[in-house]
Structure 1
Amino acid sequence: MSSLNNCIKFALDIKDKNIVFKSFFYKMVQMKKHKIYEAELIQPACPCCGALDLLHNGHLITNIHYLTANASHPVIIRLAKQRVKCRDCNRWSMAQSELVNKYCSISNASKLKVLSALTEDSSMTSIARENNVSVNTVQRVLGSCSHHFLDSYEYLPAHLAFDEFKGVDRQLHFICLNGDNHQVVQILRTRYKKTLLKYFGRFSPQARANVKTVTMDLDFYYQDIVRACFPNAQIVIARFHMIQMLTRSFNSLRVQVMKTFDKRSRQYQLLK
C-alpha cells in the first residue's frame, strides 16, 4: 500500500504527507471516461490546541477535480476527510489540506492552471473545456485576481513597477509588481486612468507615502497617477524602454543618412 501511495503521489505531484492513496480505477460518468483516485486525508493533531488524543468520527467524501494531461479523461480524487473530536478541548474539526480549499471541489493546482491559461489569447469556454471545469469556475478564478494579492489597504511596497499585458480577447490589463522581489501586488482588468486612481486611492495616506520609486514605461498617464497618489515617489523609466527608444532613434537617423548616398555606392550598402 505504501508503494502504491508513493507512486500515485509522484505521478500527481502531491506532497501532502497526510493524504494516503488507497486505490484507483476508471469509471464512465456522463459518457466520459474518468480516472478515479481514492484517498484518505488524515488529521494528525487538533488544529485548536495541538493535542494528539483524537476521537475519529467518520469521513466526509469530496470529489476533487484535479489536473489532467488529456481533457477527454478527467481526473477525480475521491478524498475522504477525517472528522475528529479532541479529547482535551472537546472541539470538533475536519482534516484540511493545501490540495484544495475548504468547501471547494476544484484543486488549487487546477485553479493555477486556469489562471495561467487566462494570460493567453483563449476564450473562457475553451479554457473550461480543457481543464474540465465550468465557465463559471473560470470567471470566479479571474474575479479572484482583484483581491487575491493584497487584502489590506494599509501597506504598499517601497518600490513598485507598473506595466500592462495582453489578456483574453486581446484586451490590455494592468499589473503592479513589487520592485524588490518581483512578486505580483495586484492585477486589474483594465488599465484606464480612472480605474487606477480609484484603486490606489483606497490605500491609506501612510501606505502611499511609503512608496519611494515607481518603475514604468513611457506612458504619460502613469506619471500622472504617480504624482497624484504617491507624493514621495520618484519616477523611474525602465531601461528596456530607454534602450528601445534609443535604438529606434538610431535606426531612423541611419535610414536618413543612408538615403543621401547612391544605392550602388559602398556607403549605402554598409548603412543598409
Structure 2
Amino acid sequence: SLALLHNGHLLTNIRYLTANSSHPATIRLAKQRVRCRDCSRWSMAQSELASKYCSISNASKLKILSALTEDRSMTSIASENNVSVNTVQRVLGSCSHRFLDSHEYLPAHLAFDEFKGVDRQLHFICLDGDSHQVVQILRTRYKKNLLKYFGRFSPQARANVRTVTMDLSFYYQDIVRACFPNVQIVIDRFHMIQMLTRSFNSLRVKVMNKRSRQYQLLKFPWKLYL
C-alpha cells in the first residue's frame, strides 16, 4: 500500500432504481484513482454499485432481468428503467452463460414454445421440462434454424430426450421427429382445453344464430357453460 500514490477521483454518473420513470435517479460515484510508484501504472477503485466501465447500476440490471421474465416488450422495460432497448438486450445477453453451451447433453424432457420479442417478432424458447430452466432462446423459429441448432448435438444427447411438450402445431412435431429418435410428443393441456372451449363456444353461437328455442338457454348463462 505504501507504493500507491493517490491521484484524485473520477466522478461517474450511475443510473439507479426509481419508482417513477419520469423522475430518473442518478448517483454521482467518486472513484479513487491511484498510481503505483514502482511500475507507474494507473488503476481505479471499483464499487459493487456498478460493474467496471458501466454506468448502469447492478440493481437496475436485476430489475430489468426480472422484467424480462414477464410477458412484456423490451421497449416498455427500457422506458420504465430509463435505459435504451440495446441495454435491455445486453442484460439478456449477459445471461447466455446460463444456457447449455455443450452439445453433448440434453435434458430428458423438453418443452417448446415461442414468444413475441424485439420488433414484435416471434422467438423460439426451449425449456427443461423438469426444472423449467431455459435451455436455449433463438432469435427465429424457422424450421431450418431449429434443425440446424439441434443438429449440432451429438446423437447420444438427442437420443436421451424422451418427451417434448408443445402446442398443437404440426410445425414443431416435424422438427421433433426429425431430431429426436426416442421422443414422445406431449400436447400441453392448456392448448387442449383452449381448443375444446373454442369449439364449444363456436357451436353455441351457431345454434343461437338460428333463433331456435334454445336461444335463451344458451345466451344468458354462457359463462356458466364455458
TM over 0.5: yes
CA offsets per residue over residues 163-202 of structure 1, 9 Å max, x none? 1122233222222111112222222222221222222222
Query: Which residue of 55, 72, 93 maps to 1:120?
Result: 72
Matched, 1:76 2:23: no
Distance 1:248 1:70, change over 3 A: closer
- Determine the structure 1 residue equivalent to 2:87: 137
Q: CA deviation at 1:96?
A: 7.7
Q: CA deviation at 1:75?
A: 2.9
Matched, 1:167 2:114: no
Query: Which residue of 205, 209, 225 maps to 2:175?
Result: 225
Distance 1:58 1:77, change over 3 A: farther
Structure 1 letter corresponding to 2:215: Y
The whole-number CA distance in structure 1 between the counterparts of 2:28 and 2:181 is 52
Q: CA deviation at 1:119?
A: 5.1
Q: CA deviation at 1:204?
A: 2.3
CA offsets per residue over residues 209-242 of structure 1, 9 Å max, x none? 2211110001111111111222222110000111
SS of aligned partner of 1:68 = coil
Query: Which residue of 241, 244, 258 maps to 2:191?
Result: 241
Distance 1:58 1:111, change over 3 A: farther
Distance 1:136 1:166, change over 3 A: closer
Contact map agreement 1:74 1:132 (CA 8 A) in 2 = no
Contact map agreement 2:74 2:88 (CA 8 A) in 1 = no
Distance 1:56 1:189, change over 3 A: farther
Distance 1:101 1:207, change over 3 A: farther
Q: Could you list the runs of 5+ residues in structure 2 that have no partner in the other structure?
A: 35-44, 220-226
Give the TM-score of the pair, scaled to structure 2.
0.70
Matched, 1:178 2:131: no
Matched, 1:152 2:102: yes
Contact map agreement 2:31 2:46 (CA 8 A) in 1 = no
Greater displacement, 250-259 / 198-207: 250-259
Q: How does 1:36-75 map to 2 (within 5 A)?
A: 63=12, 64-71=14-21, 72-75=23-26
The whole-number CA distance in structure 2 between the counterparts of 1:179 and 1:190 is 21
Structure 1 letter corresponding to 2:218: L
Q: Could you list the runs of 5+ residues in structure 1 that have no partner in the other structure?
A: 1-53, 84-93
Structure 2 letter corresponding to 1:218: L
The CA RMSD over aligned residues, in Å, is 3.6
Greater displacement, 107-116 / 208-217: 107-116
SS of aligned partner of 1:190 = coil
Greater displacement, 133-142 / 208-217: 133-142
Give the TM-score of the pair, scaled to structure 1.
0.59
Contact map agreement 1:164 1:172 (CA 8 A) in 2 = yes
Contact map agreement 1:218 1:241 (CA 8 A) in 2 = yes
Distance 1:185 1:258, change over 3 A: same
Structure 2 letter corresponding to 1:271: L
SS of aligned partner of 1:169 = helix
The whole-number CA distance in structure 2 between the counterparts of 1:204 and 1:175 is 20
Structure 2 letter corresponding to 1:211: V
Structure 2 letter corresponding to 1:74: A
SS of aligned partner of 2:59 = helix
CA offsets per residue over residues 99-120 of structure 1, 9 Å max, x none? 6555544334323433426952
Q: How does 1:190-205 map to 2 (within 5 A)?
A: 190-205=140-155
Q: How many residues align?
A: 203
Structure 1 letter corresponding to 2:83: V
Greater displacement, 186-195 / 57-66: 57-66
SS of aligned partner of 1:76 = strand
Greater displacement, 184-193 / 157-166: 184-193
Q: CA deviation at 1:146?
A: 5.7
The whole-number CA distance in structure 1 between the counterparts of 2:57 and 2:96 is 20
